[in-house]
């Protein structure tokens, strides 16, 4: 059954369903409903919630819980994720599974609290030091946030790697209907032969990231690289919207921006402008081949337009995918400004030199017309509001 | 694809986000796709707060809309901000208890509803938000009134169950007012 839930709360419930039993975090807008939800919910499933003294402490508590094999997570928003960078590097180095939510807000610095996608580079290429990577998943609806949250715990366990669910303030704050898969909960312990569970009767295990012998450290780096290559080979996810090809122009966007672009694609279709949308779901590994494949569906010399709530981050990966074969343009907003479908459509028309052909906006009925209409009402052009009733309703004039 | 949306705006504490949630819940139970997107700036009681609810037969692309088809405004700043953006032919519900200015939209259906007075008749001034919701439903019939009344019952449970009758009555007062007004005006 579908229930109406806020994105942040749905993420919390999805974590519970995935088997998460430990949460460590620190409040920050616009993600605070995640811990607010879990502080009530975790004790009900025998779990534990700790509000740490800082984000730095929170991520290191996750480090500890992950080290003993427990499914653990934290969540934060942009400035808080910056503070967690050091811990992320250590957790990845020690190959421990855990999940991090980033509900992105506008930066840099303290910035603002409104939605943004300006942590793209941080999530996919940045945060802590050293040769490590996170798997980064970007939901575009509240339902997808749920699905990807559950996937995040699975991938973390499978690859022994931190996984980040990267959404923004809009997904976190909005309510949409969601359905949770199944009734049961996942195992609260990660399947493992590496966790520190007490070594009585077996050889001891060590969770460590310090390798002072260069050859040994390089060996470790090569092992990690092989893992990231395997993830890149197996786990890329994406969506193409708007048809299979013959596009006048291809939009590339993720998360919130992608769903706004979908509305722009639909709008432009009515004007006879064929626009496709490529939406990476895994931001890391970036589905570069599929992105290039979608570009091959554009008419010759047709451009690519990357739409993002940042000053140009995703566009860097899109340019890599294009390898100079296409003109790749950026439509970027910042500061917490969320572009509307109209603004995206206008930019597309501009790029295609079709600004002149813009038709006046269609006047759409306030009443969407999905309520049944009785015969008399239909004759009068008046919708009836009630199902299976006599014509008493239709006596009301409707404009 | 059939879609509509309404912006509900007022002072923080006037309950626009709550009635938006009730509309979203009712629409979901009525089998529609729905999104509920609040403004979440540094809001506080007395500041402005708004929510946009979109209802559709198809999965909802953008939850943000520049030019909504419906608008409910509780206070003057909200009227000034949102009324010019409503689509031509749209519906604007104005809380006439607090707003004495005209919406200045000849091309829209504008209903002035004395929300506070109608709420007082229902038993509490604080139910003015449900009067407004009733007026919106009465003017647009976007979802059946019964679906809203069921959603009100589901929204107020436990300690809050006592608020069901007054809010339901307030909703009905708004509904009746709008239905009468719409019936009485020329098409």
Q: What is the pLDDT of residues A146-186, one digit of tens each?
A: 999 999 999 999 999 999 999 999 999 999 999 999 778 89
Which distant-in-sequence residues (6+ apart) come within 8 Å of A200 by Cβ?
Answer: none
CA torsion angle for B117, B119, B120, B126 (degrees, to 10)?
-120
Residue A200 has pLDDT above 80, yes or no: yes
Distance CA A306, CA A64 (A): 39
Distance CA B34, CA B7 (A): 13
Question: Are the Cβ atoms of B36 and A340 closer than 8 angstroms?
Answer: no
For residues B4 and A366, is the Cβ–Cβ distance under 8 A? yes
At A380, the pLDDT band (50, 70, 90 cuts) reads low
Distance CA A337, CA A371 (A): 35
Does the complex come out with an ipTM higher than 0.85? yes
Which distant-in-sequence residues (6+ apart) come within 8 Å of A387 by Cβ?
Answer: A371, A372, B144
**CB interface of B with A, residues 91-150, below 8 Å:** 91, 109, 140-146
- CB burial of A297-307 (b: ≥16 within 10 Å; e: otherwise) equals bbeeebbbbbb
Q: Is B39 on the interface with A (CB under 8 A)?
A: no
Mean pLDDT over B177-185 rounds to: 84
Question: In which residue are the tokens 């979608």 written?
Answer: A294
For residues B124 and B166, is the Cβ–Cβ distance under 8 A? yes
Chain A residues close to B91, C-beta within 8 Å = 366
Cα-Cα end-to-end distance for chain A? 35
Nearest to A348, CA basis, from A280, A264, A266, A241? A264
Residue A378 has pLDDT above 60, yes or no: no
Residue A363 has pLDDT above 90, yes or no: no
Query: Which pLDDT does position A354 carry in this prediction?
Result: 85
Q: Is B3 on the interface with A (CB under 8 A)?
A: yes
Residues A296-316: pLDDT tens digits? 999 999 999 999 999 999 999
For residues A2 and A175, is the Cβ–Cβ distance under 8 A? no
Chain B residues close to A365, C-beta within 8 Å = 4, 69, 89
What 8-state DSSP symbol labels residue A272?
A: T
Mean pLDDT over A96-114 rounds to: 97
% of chain A residues with pLDDT over 70: 89
Write out the two tokens for A233. Answer: 């080979």
Q: Is B29 on the interface with A (CB under 8 A)?
A: no
Q: Is B70 on the interface with A (CB under 8 A)?
A: yes
Question: Are the Cβ atoms of B33 and A169 closer than 8 angstroms?
Answer: no
Chain B residues close to A361, C-beta within 8 Å = 67, 87
Most A-contacting residue of B62, B109, B179, B180 (CB-CB within 10 A), to test interface: B62
Chain B residues close to A383, C-beta within 8 Å = 141
Question: Are the Cβ atoms of A366 and B109 closer than 8 angstroms?
Answer: yes
CA A162 and chain centroid, separation = 15
**Chain B residue whose CA is closest to A342:** B66
Residues A172-182: pLDDT tens digits? 999 999 999 97
Distance CA A185, CA A198 (A): 26
- pTM: predicted TM-score of the whole model, two decimal places: 0.92
Mean pLDDT over B7-17 rounds to: 94
Mean pLDDT over B129-133 rounds to: 98
Chain B residues close to A176, C-beta within 8 Å = 34-36, 60
Q: Which of B61, B66, B91 shows the shortest C-beta gap to A366?
A: B91
Q: Which of A340, A343, A383 shows the shortest C-beta gap to B141?
A: A383
At A41, the pLDDT band (50, 70, 90 cuts) reads very high
Query: Which pLDDT does position B187 carry in this prediction?
Result: 47
- CB burial of A339-361 (b: ≥16 within 10 Å; e: otherwise) equals bbbbbbbbbbbebbeeeeeeeee
Mean pLDDT over B148-166 rounds to: 97
Question: Are the Cβ atoms of B182 and A397 closer than 8 angstroms?
Answer: yes
Which distant-in-sequence residues (6+ apart) come within 8 Å of A215 by Cβ?
Answer: none
Residues B21-30: pLDDT tens digits? 999 999 999 9
At A385, the pLDDT band (50, 70, 90 cuts) reads very low
Question: Are the Cβ atoms of B140 and A366 closer than 8 angstroms?
Answer: yes
Query: For residues A326 and B12, which has the higher predicted lDDT (pLDDT)?
Result: A326
Residue A389 has pLDDT above 60, yes or no: no
**Chain A residue whose CA is closest to B151:** A4
């Amino acid at each position: 059954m579908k229930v109406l839930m806020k994105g942040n709360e749905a993420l919390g419930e999805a974590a519970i369903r995935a088997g998460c039993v430990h949460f460590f975090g620190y409040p920050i807008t616009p993600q605070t409903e995640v811990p607010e939800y879990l502080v009530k919910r975790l004790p009900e499933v025998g779990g534990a919630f700790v509000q740490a003294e800082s984000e730095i402490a929170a991520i290191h508590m996750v480090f500890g819980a992950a080290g003993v094999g427990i499914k653990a997570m934290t969540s934060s928003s942009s400035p808080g994720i910056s503070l967690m960078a050091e811990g992320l590097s250590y957790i990845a180095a020690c190959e421990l599974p855990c999940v991090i939510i980033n509900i992105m807000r506008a930066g840099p610095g303290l910035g603002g609290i409104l939605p943004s996608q300006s942590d793209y580079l941080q999530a996919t290429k940045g945060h802590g030091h050293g040769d490590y990577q996170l798997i980064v998943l970007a939901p575009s609806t509240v339902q997808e946030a749920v699905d990807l949250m559950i996937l995040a715990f699975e991938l973390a366990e499978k690859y022994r790697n931190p996984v980040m669910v990267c959404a923004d303030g809009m997904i976190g704050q909005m309510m949409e209907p969601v359905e949770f898969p199944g009734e049961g909960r996942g195992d609260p312990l990660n399947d493992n032969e590496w966790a520190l569970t007490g070594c009585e009767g077996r050889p001891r295990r060590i969770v460590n990231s310090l390798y002072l012998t260069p050859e040994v450290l390089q060996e470790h780096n090569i092992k990690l690289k092989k893992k990231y290559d395997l993830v890149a080979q197996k786990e890329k996810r994406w969506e193409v919207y708007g048809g299979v090809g013959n596009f006048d122009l291809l939009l590339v966007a993720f998360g919130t921006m992608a769903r706004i672009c979908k509305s722009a694609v639909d709008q432009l279709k009515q004007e006879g402008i064929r626009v496709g949308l490529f939406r990476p779901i895994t931001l890391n590994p970036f589905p570069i081949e599929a992105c290039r494949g979608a570009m091959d569906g554009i008419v010759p010399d047709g451009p690519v337009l990357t739409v993002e709530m940042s000053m140009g981050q995703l566009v860097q990966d899109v340019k890599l995918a294009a390898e100079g074969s296409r003109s790749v343009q950026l439509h970027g907003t910042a500061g917490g400004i969320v572009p509307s479908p109209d603004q995206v459509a206008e930019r597309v028309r501009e790029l295609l030199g079709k600004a002149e052909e813009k038709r006046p906006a269609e006047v759409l009925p306030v009443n969407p017309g999905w309520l049944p209409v009785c015969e008399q009402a239909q004759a009068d052009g008046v919708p009836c509001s009630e199902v299976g009733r006599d014509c008493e309703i239709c006596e009301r004039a409707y404009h | 694809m059939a879609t509509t949306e309404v912006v509900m705006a007022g002072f923080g504490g006037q309950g626009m986000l709550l009635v938006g949630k009730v509309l979203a819940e009712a629409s979901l139970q009525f089998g529609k796709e729905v999104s509920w997107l609040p403004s979440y700036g540094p809001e506080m009681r007395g500041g402005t707060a708004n929510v946009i609810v979109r209802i559709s037969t198809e999965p909802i692309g953008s939850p943000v809309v520049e030019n909504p088809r419906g608008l409910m405004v509780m206070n003057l700043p909200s009227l000034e901000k949102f009324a010019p953006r409503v689509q031509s032919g749209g519906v604007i519900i104005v809380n006439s208890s607090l707003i004495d200015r005209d919406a200045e939209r000849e091309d829209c259906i504008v209903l002035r509803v004395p929300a506070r007075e109608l709420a007082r008749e229902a038993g509490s001034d604080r139910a003015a938000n449900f009067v407004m919701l009733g007026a919106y439903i009465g003017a647009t019939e976007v979802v059946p009134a019964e679906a809203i009344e069921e959603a009100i019952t589901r929204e107020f449970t436990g300690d809050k169950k006592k608020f069901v009758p007054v809010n339901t009555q307030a909703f009905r007062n708004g509904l009746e007012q709008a239905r009468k007004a719409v019936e009485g005006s020329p098409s």
